[in-house]
Every structure is written in C-alpha cells, then in structure tokens.
Amino acid sequence: DIQMTQSPSSLSASVGDRVTITCQASQDINNYLDWYQQKPGKAPKLLIYDASNLQRGVPSRFSGSGSGTDFTFTISSLQPEDIATYYCKQYDNLPTFGQGTRLEIK
Amino acid sequence: QVQLVESGGGVVQPGRSLRLSCAASGFTFNNYGMHWVRQAPGKGLEWVAVISYDGTNEYYADSVKGRFTISRDKSKNTIYLQMNSLRTEDTAVYYCAKATGYLNGDFDYWGQGTLVTVSS
C-alpha cells in the first residue's frame, strides 16, 4: 500500500496569509494526486487534480504543485471561507488519503 | 446536475449486517468507477471499496476485506455496500464518490453521506 504523509496536522493563519500544506508519498505516484477541502458536516470537495490542475469553479487562490513523491498545496491569500480540513489523496494505486490538515483563522 | 444520494445507514449491533445504497443521476453511470469512503467520528477520510464501471472488478481496503461487498445495478443507477460482521470500529459516515475513470481517478462528485453506528 502507498502511504501518504501530510503535514502539518493543523495550522493557524491570518486572513490574507499564504498557506502551504505538504504531502509525501511512500513511492512515486506519477502525479496521481488530488487535494480535497472538507468543511464541518459536509462531504469533501475536489479542489486540485493530477497534482496541479484546478478543478472547474474553484477559486484561483488555490494551487498545487509537485511531482514524484513530494507535493504542495497552497492558498495564496487565505479567506475566511477557506476554514476547513484539507486532504491529499493518491490514486496511482488503490486510493489512500493523507491524515488531513485542519486550517484555522488566527 | 450530478447527484449521489446515499441511504441505508442506522444503528446496528456488532456482528450484524447492513446494506448501504447510493443512487446516482446526472451522468452516464455505466462509464465510471464508483467508490465508498468512510469517516469515523472526528477522524480523517478512509477509502473503503471500489467497483469498476462495468462491475467486473472490485477492490477493498484491508480493514473491510472479506466482510464488505460492493456491487452495482446499472438498471437502477445504484451502487451498494453490503456490510457483514460489523464491528464497533466500522462506525462512521459512509460516502459514495464518483471517480473520473473507469475504475479510479479523482473523486469529482460525492454524496452527502450516511451514518452507520455499530453499538450494542
């Protein structure tokens, strides 16, 4: 099984800050990496697919980068509505999720 | 528009069975793999099972292998998760999700989730 190590587990930032989350795979996953946003009591929402592609309708302040085993998710300017938990997921093999990053407003 | 609607959750005793359903609409159901993902209370997301677009391939997480069975009915545009020998650690919100490929891929649409509570 491919393991996904996501960090940090929680993050506190101010409105307007640049926020970065990382995800490391236990082996090369050929850029088959997504990022999801989950707000309390809601289903996850796809934000970024194939490591760096913005899902239709998602604001451009969200972005993803990386390749091989190391990936980064960035919010360029944090907005109050971005408060959520963020997950990476690989699908090079059977899917596995990262542990999640809980993002809070400072 | 794409809709995925789960049903069948509830409270069940350990060792008993439960069947979840996920009714799909708004897309060509027979073209995509479908997945179940669960989330225990206060915990992260855990992938559970997948069934291929044509129903010929199924894969499971080790935690449910041999106890859960995923299936699909193309006449009803519905997938199912038959859960047997339930354990307290199976307590979670269960989501169905549509993949962007024949088996795997991004999960571009999710249902609202159905809560399964395993408790005596």
Instruction: Provide the pLDDT for residue B15.
Output: 98
pLDDT digits (tens, 9 = 90+) for A47-70: 999 999 999 999 999 999 999 999
How many cross-chain Cβ pairs, A to B, lie less than 8 Å apart?
54
**What value does the mean pLDDT of chain A take?**
97
Instruction: Provide the pLDDT for residue B32.
Output: 97
Residue in A closest to B108 by C-alpha: A46
Could B45 and A97 be called an inter-chain contact, meaning their C-beta atoms sit closer than 8 Å?
yes
List, in sequence order, every residue forming a beta bridge with B68; answer none if it has no partner: B83
Which residues of A fall within a CB distance of 8 Å from B61? 94
**What value does the mean pLDDT of chain B take?**
97
What is the DSSP code (8-state) at residue A79?
A: -
Q: Read off the tokens for B51.
A: 């069934």
Report residue B101's pLDDT band, with 50, 70 and 90 as the boundaries. Answer: very high
Q: Read off the tokens for A72.
A: 């980064």
Give Dmax (Cα) for chain A: 38
Instruction: Provide the pLDDT for residue B82.
Output: 98
pLDDT digits (tens, 9 = 90+) for B43-80: 999 999 999 999 999 999 999 999 999 999 999 999 99
The rounded distance, in Å, linking the Cα atoms of B82 and B79 is: 10
Q: pLDDT > 70: what percent of chain B?
A: 100
Instruction: Provide the pLDDT for residue B83.
Output: 98
